[in-house]
Amino acid sequence: MSRPSLFGSPLFLGFDHLEQMLDRVAKSADGYPPYNIEQIGENRLRITLAVAGFAMEDLQITQEDNQLVIRGRQKEDVDGRIFLHRGIAARQFQRAFVLAEGIEVEGAWLDNGLLHVDLRRPQPEVRVKTIEIHGGNGARTVLGARNGTGR
């Protein structure tokens, strides 16, 4: 039995990729590592992940299409150590964030166990396109953007 599609309506033509992205996000709902997303300017965002115990060489950040993927994998460093209690997580992780169209990654840095990734959202461009309407008798009318009547 298949589940009903959010975008099954004929009013949502071409949005199947959005549904696939939502499915991927739902599958990666693990809470590790914890993170914050903050707005640091009018068109700037910062993602901060708590990655205590991870060094820079243990972390990898990639942008795959419109997904920002952050992976962490620590190298086993046992060297004869015997843990009586191991409460600091040392497991690998993958955290994915779906980026809106046009979002750019400005940079990333590691500071005191926190990985910061800065993003920039470019100013949206206002696009107006005039569509030509062809009449049945060969007459052409162009609809104007002001009142939509073509006058």
pLDDT digits (tens, 9 = 90+) for 76-127: 766 778 888 888 767 899 999 989 888 999 999 999 999 999 999 988 778 8
Same domain, yes or no, for 106 and 77? yes
Write down the mean pLDDT value for the chain. 81
Burial class, 48, CB count within 10 angstroms (exposed 0-12 / middle 13-18 / buried 19+): middle
Evaluate whether residue 144 is within a structural domain.
no
CA-to-CA separations, 94 to 9, 17, 98, in angstroms, rounded: 33, 21, 13
The C-alpha atoms of residue 128 and residue 146 are separated, in whole angstroms, by 11
Looking at the structure, do residues 13 and 41 belong to the same domain, yes or no?
no
- Specify whether 36 is located in the same domain as 26: no
For residues 62 and 151, the model is more confident at 62
Please give the model's pTM, rounded to 2 decimal places: 0.64
What is the total count of domains within the chain?
2
Report the 10 Å Cβ neighbour count for 114.
Answer: 15
